[in-house]
Amino acid sequence: MAVERTIRHIKALATGAKYMLGGHRLTLMYPDDIQEFPDGYRGMIEYDWDTCIKCGLCAMVCPADAMKMYVSKEESEEGKRPVRRPGINYTRCIFCGFCVDICPTNSLKFTKVHDVAFYTFEEQIYPPEKFREGIPKPQYDKEPRKVRAVLDEKRGIRYEPVE
Amino acid sequence: MSLEERELEVLIGPQHPASGHMRLVAKIDGDIVVELRPNIGYVHRSVEKLAEVKKYLQIIPLVERPSLADTTANNLAYVMAVEKLLGIEPPPRAQYLRTLLAEINRIHSHFYGMGIHGVMIGSSTAYMWCFGDREPLIELAQELTGARLTYSYIVPGGVRRDLPQGFEDKVERVMRYLENRMPDYFDIYFNNPVTRARLEGVGVLTKEDAIKLGVTGPNLRASGVPYDVRKAEPYAAYPELDFDVITEEAGDAFARVMVRVREIQESIKIIRQVLKNIPDGPILDEKYMKMIPPNLRKQVEETGHIKFPGVFANLRVPAGEAVARVEGGRGEVVFHIISDGKMSPYRMRMVTPSFRNVILFEHLTKGARVADIPAIYGSLDYFPPEADR
């Protein structure tokens, strides 16, 4: 029994040493490396002002009350009746993507951006006029390396640079 | 103050004693636990009550939130109950895709449980390894669904996305990786004499007690009860798949870990079968497919990403009652929905596996040593938000 135990201790230590020297690393070195996400990644949402038919389905389906219909000022004054357009509140958004999937004209689209920092609470609210301008561009101190996750038989996951 | 012998009351938590927000009230006599009562409810979020004011589709992300690691099980069980009320049956391809995601989720949920257990008994290596090896699986799920954990992938009538291009290859590579790595897990952790000393014979749950207390999931199977909802009441694509119910006889903390390890191996088997046998065809029910405008229907066929029909925004479900259950990573998830024909359920009951397993804290720790509390806690794969809901 004591022999068996000793062997097992040695095996455990040997396995640890194997991995220590083998360079088996899964860590993504964020933010020096930034991962490129696969197509269809549910990130922040882009809004197409021109194709939107203002049906309001996105606001209706939103489970977190993030997407809401706002009265669009200029248009309402021009048409002399209230025109409503969607706006999004990123303090509430849970990135379920229901609004994108229900939009009948593909006016809402996923982007692959999710890591944006804001200074204030209010900045995270995107009424229609701000929503149409697109998502904020992530800013980096040093331009990061873009990497892609490659699934690997031996290493599990490797991050390879993309051009 | 006299020096008489007396019991000492120790409060563990609720600020993360090890993992999860819950207070354990322990009465100890020296090093022996006399009584340990979990003080649950600290992270109660009233999911059931919220469901009464949310629309049917909006409840999908809601029921996913309580279980961080095991979202698919809740998503699937809820949608199955809604589908029973709607009287629809998803197409076979959707059933297979549901099974695929459920099994990917089961593997990374087990890794999560084992990792937390590892760090609770002081093995940071196990924690790092398990959490690292969750990553390839999460990466797979992300490619399939677009999100890392809260997939919201299963909707009434089918699933939201078809298999991406080249997905089978990637899955196969990850499955081979897990198989290659398993022997090293045994060498460094499961067969490590330190691990064995901490877990073997600790927190023994007998077969009779397991049944009497209504324990569920791997904790039940570790006591030798071959009960699995996937076999007892098959759903999704499970009736067509070949797999075994994993049991262990010992009923101790180590047996509970072993059940999870062997279930990972079983899930690998299931995933391979799913990808081999997956039938072609639509991934959303015909009834809903017809409601999608024709130009979008073409787009759906090209991209494999479902567009919701407009009715999904205000989905009305016929009055009635439905119960659905699913074997999640942690155990049996039950949903009971009562509908009165309006846009929200009249009542939704959500029974999670952690809620049923929490009784074990009191039962298993009696007479154990204080140092065994985390060893038992972790082996149960208990998750407070899931139990509190």
Burial class (CB in 10 A: 0-12, 13-18, 19+), B186: middle
Looking at the domain assignment, is residue B349 inside a domain? Answer: yes
Q: How many CB pairs under 8 A join A and B?
A: 121
Nearest to A40 among B146, B174, B184 (CB): B146
The reply to whether residue A63 touches residue B54, judged by beta carbons under 8 angstroms, is yes
Question: B162 CB near a chain A CB, below 8 Å?
Answer: no
Looking at the domain assignment, is residue B110 inside a domain? Answer: yes
Distance from CA of B220 to the nearest CA of A (A): 29
Q: Which residue segment(s) compose the domain that B29 sits in?
A: 8-388
A110 contacts A97 by C-beta, under 8 angstroms: yes
Calculate what percentage of chain A has a pLDDT beyond 70: 100
The tens digit of pLDDT for each residue in A45-92 reads: 989 988 988 888 899 999 998 998 888 888 778 877 888 889 999 899
Looking at the domain assignment, is residue B288 inside a domain? Answer: yes
Distance from CA of B340 to the nearest CA of A (A): 20
Mean pLDDT value of segment B140-158: 90
A50-100+119-131: which CATH architecture?
A: 2-Layer Sandwich (3.30)
Question: CA-nearest residue of chain A to B59?
Answer: A63
In chain B, the number of structural domains is 1
B261 contacts B185 by C-beta, under 8 angstroms: yes
Question: Which pLDDT score, from 0 to 100, does residue A36 have?
Answer: 86
Residue B77 banded pLDDT, cuts 50, 70, 90:
very high
- The overall average pLDDT reported for chain B is 88
Question: Which pLDDT score, from 0 to 100, does residue B333 have?
Answer: 92
Mean pLDDT value of segment B26-43: 86
Query: Read out DSSP for B165-183?
Result: TTHHHHHHHHHHHHHHHHH
Question: Which pLDDT score, from 0 to 100, does residue B321 have?
Answer: 92
The reply to whether residue A157 touches residue B136, judged by beta carbons under 8 angstroms, is yes
Question: Which pLDDT score, from 0 to 100, does residue B236 have?
Answer: 86
The tens digit of pLDDT for each residue in A10-33 reads: 988 998 888 888 877 788 888 888
B-chain residues within 8 Å CB-CB of A64?
Answer: 61
Show which residues on chain A lie within 8 Å of chain B, measured between beta carbons: 5, 8-9, 11-12, 14-16, 18-19, 26, 37-42, 55, 57, 60-64, 94-98, 101-104, 106, 110, 149, 151-157
- Out of A158-162, B18-22, B54-58, B128-132, which region has the weakest mean confidence (pLDDT)? B18-22
Question: Which pLDDT score, from 0 to 100, does residue A28 have?
Answer: 85
The reply to whether residue A15 touches residue B139, judged by beta carbons under 8 angstroms, is no
Looking at the domain assignment, is residue B3 inside a domain? Answer: no
State the ipTM, two decimals. Answer: 0.86
- The overall average pLDDT reported for chain A is 86
The tens digit of pLDDT for each residue in B59-75 reads: 999 999 888 888 999 99
Task: Give the residue from B258, B162, B251, B272 showing the smallest Cα distance to B208.
Answer: B251
B-chain residues within 8 Å CB-CB of A11?
Answer: 187-188, 191
Nearest to B308 among A9, A16, A101 (CB): A101
Task: Give the residue from B206, B238, B240 showing the smallest Cα distance to B223.
Answer: B206
Q: What is the CATH number of the domain that holds B347?
A: 1.10.645.10
Residue B1 banded pLDDT, cuts 50, 70, 90:
low
Q: What are the tokens at A15?
A: 């396995």
Question: Which pLDDT score, from 0 to 100, does residue A143 have?
Answer: 85
The reply to whether residue B312 touches residue A102, judged by beta carbons under 8 angstroms, is yes
Nearest to A61 among B57, B150, B188 (CB): B57
Question: CA-nearest residue of chain B to A62?
Answer: B58
The tens digit of pLDDT for each residue in B212-270 reads: 998 998 999 999 899 989 888 898 889 888 888 999 888 899 999 999 999 999 999 99
The tens digit of pLDDT for each residue in B316-366 reads: 889 999 999 999 888 899 999 999 888 899 999 999 998 889 888 888 888
Question: Which pLDDT score, from 0 to 100, does residue B2 have?
Answer: 61
